Amino acid sequence: MCGIFAYTGNKGKEAGGVLLDGLLSLEYRGYDSAGIFTPESGSVRSPGAVAELRKKMPKDFAGKSGIAHLRWATHGEPTEKNAHPHGSCDGEIWVVHNGIIENFKELKAKLERAGHTFSSDTDTEVLTHLIEEHLKHEKSFEKAALAALNEVRGTYGIALQYKKEPDRIIAARMGSPIVLGLGDGEHFIASDPTPILPHTRKVVFLEDGEVAVISPDGHRIFKLDSTKVKRDATDIDWSAEAAQKGGYEHFMLKEIMEGPEVIENTLRGRLIPEKGLAKLGGLETVAKQLEKIDRIIIVACGTASYAAQVGEYMLEEHARIPVEVEIGSEFRYKKPVVNERTAVLAISQSGETLDTLEAVREGKRHGALTLGIVNAVGSTIARETDAGVYNHAGPEVSVASTKAFLSQLTALALFTIFLGRQRGMTAAQGKEIARALKELPKKIQAILDTKEEIQKLAKKYAHARDFLYIGRKYNYPIAYEGAIKLKEISYIHAEGCGAGEMKHGPIAMIDENFPTMAIAPKDSMYEKMISNIHEIKARKGPVIAVATEGDKEIAKLADDVIYVPETLEMLSPILNVVPLQLFAYYFAKEKGLNVDRPRNLAKSVTVE
């Protein structure tokens, strides 16, 4: 959500072009306006896409350094005056900002009394005027910026530039991610590594309460109290090209089609099939602590929370440990019963989801062991948890998560083996799960090979304005995941429902114009799912069934059937969700919608 990019260099590059390219690579984060500033040419801002910003830029727009921003509106409508960057009264100080300044009203009132004039409705603009005010008394721009930041309450990831010192850019972080890119004769600041990778793979992640100064030839990091910080660079192991579409029409389809590779990458080096064990290097340091815990709380938001719910079934059934799933945005507003025998497991693709991060911090305050399943190396959740598992899913650009979800489910299955073998799971059980996991990539590929048939189904049902998704046990969360995929990219009403709950309300909606997607594999809940389908058909509701290959009986009952290969019940969600992802994709495409960037949504939610 929102995106920052900044550049300074002495290699003769035009900063305007570098910054625009950086913004384009950040578009997946979700935004409603864009802006750019260089000390030589000033600022240009525009509501809408980066393409609109490019149109507004003068042909002679130039510079050797600058800052740029994609804004997702929080305070103030998505208009040109509210777009970033924001400048001070004298036009010398400029800022781009992700996050929320919680005490901006009181700061704004104080600054207005001091004679400052504001030109936007945003909380961000307070920063430039506050630094301008401190610069009246401080000897340097750096000291004025530090003084201002020490007055601010809230969350921020910022980049600051001063016209009188055009080669230097200041970055700071408090709750919103900031990454430095270290090049040869050029340095970068960004919200995440994506826009940096075309230039360098060497990055440094700032921690909360840290400030950095970059120039073409170097960087410095220090804390808000001016204490120096020394931190080695991290080498990012995926290329910028990996984030491109690779010939597919949309990132979402590309990422769905990468499912088999994602499973292989998540499993690589972690399975010991001949012994029925999972080797998770990220958990080895806390293995002894894990033996002593008597309860797990999984915290996650959105799609990750549905992965968590599947994980709850896996862990309770096969590792025999009590598990609760909590929505990250609610967890810290409870009085959670957490102690040193509790593990709080956070699941987040970006590793920056603010609500999930705060849930981790709440768990820490109560003495819990904190764990993470994240995709982004060096992300805040990865750094702040005691231990964890990386997904190794690679960059996911489309806002609607697909391949990261598969990876999360796979990581949870590995965690189940790891924990289960500590707690009574037999070697035979471990071997069975391990063998089944190894078979998943080719089985997912078999589903992907039927994508044209799923596309035909999506076209057949594209007129529908409502959809019900139903499932039971392991596939109960998959019903919710299927529904959220359809609603977030096609904007139609779709509901997930535990099939046993239909008679408690949802079945009242069913008629001949209200189709149902029924997830009905041949598992322990099959007979009950068949009964639920009969109930829908008795009310003339159309039914698409997701069923196990070879199940001819369900074809006599459902209007349409999508077949998937057979696997263990605990792993069936990993297969069953794939046709639901494809169905949602083709459904939205049939409607001519922007599949990769659905309205009002962002890839990484870093504000409340």
Residues of the chain with CATH 3.40.50.10490: 245-447, 450-595
Q: What is the pLDDT of residue 224?
A: 95
Strand 179-182, strand 202-205: pairing: antiparallel
CA atoms within 13 A on the CB side of 373: 30
Q: Which CATH superfamily is domain 245-447 in?
A: Glucose-6-phosphate isomerase like protein; domain 1 (3.40.50.10490)
Q: pLDDT at position 1, please?
A: 59
At 603 the pLDDT is 65
CA 605 to chain centre: 7
Q: Is 554 helix (H, G, I), strand (E, B) or coil?
A: helix
Active site residue 603: yes
| Helix residue spans in 374-426 (DSSP H) | 380-384, 403-422
Q: Please tell me the distance from the alpha carbon of residue 351 to that of residue 377, in angstroms, as a whole number.
A: 8
From residue 474, alpha-carbon distances to 431, 457, 510, 575, 583 in Å are: 20, 25, 24, 12, 20
> Active site residue: 2, 443, 473, 497, which one?
2
Check 163, 403, 443, 603 and give the catalytic one: 603
pLDDT of the residue at 506: 85
> What are the average pLDDT values for consecutive 10-residue runs of the chain, which has 608 residues?
90 91 83 92 93 93 95 80 95 94 93 96 95 93 96 93 97 92 96 91 94 96 96 82 72 94 91 94 92 95 95 96 93 87 94 90 94 86 92 84 96 97 94 97 97 97 96 97 96 93 87 95 94 93 96 95 97 98 97 89 63
- Does domain 3-240 fall under CATH 1.10.10.10? My reply is no
Residue 171 is predicted with a pLDDT of: 98
Q: What is the structure's pLDDT at 242?
A: 62
φ/ψ of 28, rounded to 5, equals -60, -20
Asked if 212 and 199 count as a contact pair (C-beta separation under 8 A), the reply is no
pTM value is: 0.75
Note the pLDDT of residue 493.
96
Distance, in Å, from the CA atom of 503 to the CA atom of 555, rounded to the nearest integer, reads 24
pLDDT at residue 30, as a whole number: 64
For residue 75, give every residue at least 6 positions away whose Cβ sits within 8 Å of its Cβ, in sequence order, or none: 100, 104, 121, 122, 123, 124
The CATH topology of domain 450-595 is Rossmann fold (3.40.50)
Delimiting residues of CATH 3.60.20.10 domain(s) in the chain: 3-240
pLDDT score of 119? 95
Q: Is residue 2 annotated as a catalytic residue, yes or no?
A: yes
Q: Give the model's pLDDT for residue 541.
A: 94
